[in-house]
Amino acid sequence: MAFEETILVVDDDAVSRHVLCQTLSDAGLSNVACDSGTEALAYLADHVPQVVLLDLVMPAPDGYAILQHIRQTPRLAEVPVVVLTALESDDEIERVFASGADDYVHKPFRSAELIARLRGQMRVREYVERISQRERHQQTVLELTQKLASTLDIRDILFTVVQRVAQVAHVDRCSIVLFAESGDLGYVLATSDDEQLRDLPIDLGKYPEIREVFRTGRALVIRDAARHPLFEVVRQREAAPGFNSLALLPILHDHGPMGVLFLRSKGRAAFHAYDLSLVTTVANAMAIALRNARILQSLRAETEKITTARQEAERRVQLFRRYADFFESAADGMIVIDRTGQILFANPRAREIIGYTETELTARRLTDLVTPSERDRDRGERMLRGFSDGIYPRGVDIVINDKAGQPITINVSFSSVLHEDDAVLCTFRDVTQERQTAIELKQTKEFLERVIDSSVDGIVSANLKGTVLLFNRAAARIFGYAPNEVVGKMRVERLYPQGVARDIMRRIRDPEVSGYGRLEDHRVDMLGAGGEHVPVTLSASLVLDNGRPIGSVGIFTDIRERLRMQERLERAQEELRGRERMAIVAELAGAAAHELNQPLTSVIGYAELLRRKLEEEPQLSSAAAVIIRESERMAEIVRKVGKITKYETKSYVGGAKILDLEKASGTEPGAKDV
């Protein structure tokens, strides 16, 4: 099922959901919002979004339940899921990814980071889709080439071939056109939009594009036929062609093009190089199939000659009975053939290896035993032709099929010792197991090389003379040298500061350090290509052969980034300690303001009472007013200190005030930060 170009937002918090949708809309991303897990499951039952942006903490079903549903539903399993979480513990993050999430974003989120992560998941999904489509196209081409290569009568599959090629290349019509020998006439063998059309003759004078491919033998791509100069003469004679974009791939044989695979599109086709390469593969397979069809006709003509010659061969086989004792006792398989490849005699060992009886073997040619691949068939025929020129190969590996149809590899030597009887002696032995073992050893070696080369740690190996024999890609990244600059050309000591290499080797050989022959997690500074110091942790050991050291290997872990992270962490910790000290000062100031507020309130109250009692005594009343004014000024200072430190005053009964911490911090009890 195709993905919809919509991002599904699942969050039970209305404010958070609104902010998320607004952020996506501002970035030009289409989105749909669900305010609960139940609504999200209902939406997913009918839709396949491009990405799911999922809050984990919700009433049941929560984010984990929705994530599990997505991963367990086949049509939703490939949908990328980015989760929103306010938790930062390693266990929580591990649980997020173990549940099937593709990425996560911390709350509160940064808009740029959220959009970047969503676009990254969308790009990954698009890339996977393109890879999947290419794999499907490659499988289609493989099926077509196998069908073409495995049949000699290709008439019945031509329509299927052109139809599938049209789908792969995204064109309106695909046709197969063969050339007549004169080059003036062509025959349309099949076309993708008409199953009944076969062997339609066409005048190539009306198709300058086909004549151009016939002349050059090269592929031709025309993306705008209405303006291409090749069609100038055609446009003057008749109306513009019905197809705007054309691609012609030659069907080649030994002497040049025998036809074309003709692709046409009414619109403006892209004709990507990748698609054309796939179609070219089909064209090459078709050339082989068409050639095989022609060869079949000649083989049928030769069958009568072979039947006549077989009786003569049976008579001649009696001539080789005098060699029977030698053949019977030979440990190798022996076959006598004539110069056309007809088997005249086979010894017991040959019959044991191949599985046929003598009667069954003498009814076959040597090339009949060869595996049906075009390469092996051609090779066998070339060897038979070489006998006429006195060429008798020795020690040649040939793959044949035994009676059960199983391929076996034999090592064959041909001899002309029977040339007087116009025959060739073939001696062979079964080397299937030996060759398979050699292939497995090669594959194991290549696999180990790939493992070493893909390691994230640098791996360097040297012989006892110190010459570097192995230098993987990670080592090249750490030290700054290209492998071809180091392997076989540089001594390992150049990677160490002066004297350090000897100290490392001494430690490796010292059994009291970490056991003889190895050194683990040793911190050391290496030298880069520019002379800079590269901090690493080194694990090294001797390479032993039967207990005898023949070299050394070192594994280098680059810790530069780790050291930088430690430095950043120390700076962050120092900054945190500074902020904690400031917070303590602010708390002390706030507490002092709180403690001063009560006595100031009492002073102001009692001074006001004195002023009223002493109204008849102006001097004392004036002194009381001064006390009130200065106390109020002090109280104002206390209130400012309280505000600065997030404190404020609260009313007492009778007009007195105390510090109000909640109002000073700008929040009421139960309020929630957004």
Q: Please compute the mean of the pLDDT values over residues 627-652 and round it to a whole number.
A: 71
- Per residue, the 3-state secondary structure of 3-42, as one string, reads CCCCEEEECCCHHHHHHHHHHHHHCCCCEEEECCHHHHHH
Q: Mean pLDDT over residues 666-671, rounded?
A: 46
Confidence tier at 665 by pLDDT (50, 70, 90):
very low
239 and 283, same domain (yes or no): yes
The verdict on 404 and 382 lying in the same domain is yes
pLDDT for position 479: 92
Which of 604, 615, 621 is CA-nearest to residue 655? 604
User: In sequence order, what DSSP letters do the residues of 556-602 get, joined into one string?
Assistant: EEE-HHHHHHHHHHHHHHHHHHHHHHHHHHHHHHHHHHHHHHHHHHH
**What local confidence, expressed as pLDDT, does residue 536 receive?**
92
How much is the pLDDT for 280? 74
Tell me the average pLDDT across 542-561: 89
The answer on 112 and 213 residing in a single domain is no
Q: Does a structural domain hold residue 198?
A: yes
Task: Tell me what the mean pLDDT of segment 511-524 comes to.
Answer: 76
Q: Is residue 325 part of a domain?
A: no
The pLDDT of 518-528, averaged and rounded, is: 88
pLDDT of residue 460: 92
Q: Cβ(70)–Cβ(100) under 8 Å?
A: yes
Distance CA 41, CA 68 (A): 11
Which of 6-10, 313-317, 542-546, 662-666 shows the lowest mean pLDDT across its residues?
A: 662-666
Which amino acid, residue 590? Answer: G
pLDDT of residue 148: 55
In a domain, 123, yes or no: yes
Is residue 564, in this structure, part of any structural domain at all?
no
Question: What is the per-residue burial (b if ≥16 Cβ within 10 Å, else e) of 146-162?
Answer: ebbeeeeebeebbbebb
- 139 lies in a domain? no
Instruction: Indicate whether 291 and 206 sit together in one domain.
Output: yes
Looking at residue 267, what is its pLDDT?
A: 80
The backbone region for 344, taken as left when phi is positive above 0, alpha when psi lies in -120 to 50, beta otherwise, is alpha
Least confident of 8-22, 286-300, 535-549: 286-300
Higher pLDDT, 429 or 670: 429
Between CA 109 and CA 119, with CA 113 as vertex, the angle to 5 degrees is: 125
Q: What is the CATH number of the domain that holds 348?
A: 3.30.450.20
Output the pLDDT for position 415: 81
> Which residue, 101, 132, 163, sits at the end of a domain?
132
Please tell me the pTM assigned to this model: 0.35
Amino acid (one-letter) located at 74: P
* DSSP code for 395: S
Token pair in block for residue 265: 């599109």
Confidence (pLDDT) at 147: 59
Pair 429, 498 in one domain? no
pLDDT exceeds 50 at position 633: yes
What pLDDT does residue 461 have? 92
The share of the chain scoring above pLDDT 70, in percent, equals 80
- On whether the CB atoms of residues 185 and 203 are closer than 8 A, the answer is yes
pLDDT at 196: 81
> In this predicted structure, which of 104-118, 587-601, 642-656 has the lowest mean pLDDT?
642-656
Q: Cite the beta strand spans of 464-515 per DSSP E.
A: 468-471
Note whether residue 126 is domain-resident: yes
Coil, helix or strand at residue 246:
strand
pLDDT in tens, 161-192: 777 777 777 788 888 888 877 677 888 888 88
One domain for residues 554 and 575: no
**Is residue 97 located within the same domain as residue 175?**
no
Residue 13 in this model has a pLDDT that exceeds 70 = yes
- 145 assigned to some structural domain: no
169 and 259 in a single domain? The answer is yes
203 lies in which domain range? 150-295
* DSSP state at residue 652: P
Is the pLDDT at 670 greater than 60? The verdict is no
Q: Count the domains in the chain.
A: 5
Residues 554 and 582 occupy one common structural domain: no
User: Are 192 and 109 members of one domain?
Assistant: no
Residue 360 CB neighbours (<10 A):
14
The pLDDT, as a whole number, for residue 309 is 57
pLDDT, residue 322, reads: 57
Q: Which of 561, 496, 545 is nearest to 522 (CA)?
A: 496
Give me the pLDDT at residue 515, please: 60
Q: Are residues 464 and 351 in the same domain?
A: no
Query: Could you give the CA distance from residue 144 to residue 160 in angstroms, rounded to a whole number?
Result: 9
Q: What's the rounded Cα separation, in Å, for the pair 118 and 106?
A: 13
**Structural contact between residues 138 and 259, judged by C-beta atoms closer than 8 angstroms:** no
What tens digit of pLDDT does each residue of 186-204 get? 888 888 888 888 778 888 8
The CATH number covering residue 164 comes to: 3.30.450.40
Average pLDDT rounded to a whole number, residues 641-666? 50
Residue pair 399/353 in contact by the 8 Å Cβ criterion: no
Mean pLDDT of the chain: 79
Q: Would you state the pLDDT for residue 62?
A: 87
Whether the predicted pLDDT of 419 surpasses 80: no
pLDDT in tens, 294-345: 655 555 555 556 555 556 556 555 555 556 666 677 778 888 888 778 888 7
Confidence band, pLDDT 50/70/90 cuts, at residue 659? very low
Strands 533-545, 518-527: pairing kind: antiparallel
185 and 119 in a single domain? The answer is: no
Contact 290, 177 (CB under 8 A): no
Q: pLDDT tens across 226-277, in order?
A: 777 777 665 555 544 577 888 888 888 766 787 888 888 888 776 777 677 7
User: How far is residue 546's CA from residue 97's CA, in Å, rounded to a whole number?
Assistant: 46
Q: Per-residue pLDDT for 56 more than 50?
A: yes
Q: Does pLDDT of 156 surpass 60?
A: yes
Contacts of 577 (CB under 8 A, 6+ apart): none
Buried b / exposed e across 516-543, counting CB within 10 Å, b at 16+?
ebbbeebebebbeeeeeebebbbbbbbb
User: In this model, does residue 674 exceed pLDDT 70?
Assistant: no
Last residue of a domain, one of 558, 577, 612: 558
Q: List all residues 6 or more positions away from 606 whose beta carbon is below 8 Å from its beta carbon.
A: none
Reported as a single tens digit per residue, the pLDDT across 445-498 is 888 888 888 888 999 999 988 999 999 999 999 999 999 999 999 999 999 998
Residue 607, domain CATH: 1.10.287
**466 in Cβ contact with 552 (< 8 Å):** no
Cα dihedral across residues 624, 627, 629, 635: positive or negative: negative
Q: Which of 392, 384, 348 is nearest to 368 (CA)?
A: 384
CATH (domain of 87): 3.40.50.2300
Q: Which of 65-79, 473-487, 512-526 has the lowest mean pLDDT?
A: 512-526
Q: What is the pLDDT of residue 423?
A: 77
Q: Residues 369-387: what's their mean pLDDT?
A: 77
Write out the DSSP string of 161-177.
HHHHHHHHHT-SEEEEE
Work out the pLDDT band at 661, boundaries 50, 70, 90.
Answer: very low
27 belongs to a structural domain = yes
**Three-class secondary structure of residue 296 per DSSP:** helix
